[in-house]
Amino acid sequence: MYCFNTTTGIFTAQVNPALIGTDNRLLKETDGSPLGKKVYDAAQKLKDGQITTVSYNYPRPNTDNPVPKVAYLSRVGNTACGVGYYK
């Protein structure tokens, strides 16, 4: 679970506390693809209360091997929040 400011991209909530206060647009998939920018851009297209999905590859906790993952993303005002699941 995570939330970020849709203006600044800064994480305001994150399951990984070390990422709170950092810019989500800088997150990369293991292969270098712009994961954070993909999520940020999807949030920009949402109106309040709408939900979209974003697909990407990301390692499961405590692993290094990226696997398919899908995040559900919604927005209210200047806050977007997402939660994902591994396929």
pLDDT tens for 56-81 read 999 998 898 999 999 999 999 999 99
Residue 30, pLDDT score: 84
pLDDT tens for 15-69 read 889 999 999 999 999 889 999 999 999 999 999 999 999 999 999 988 989 999 9
| SS3 of the chain: helix, strand, coil, percent, to 5 | 20, 45, 40
**For the residues of 29-58, what is the DSSP string, one character each?**
-TTS--HHHHHHHHHHTPPTT-EEEEEEEE
Residue 61, pLDDT score: 86
Supply 61's token pair: 């906790």
Residue 1, pLDDT score: 92
Cα–Cα dist 23/30, whole Å: 17
Say whether pTM exceeds 0.85.
yes
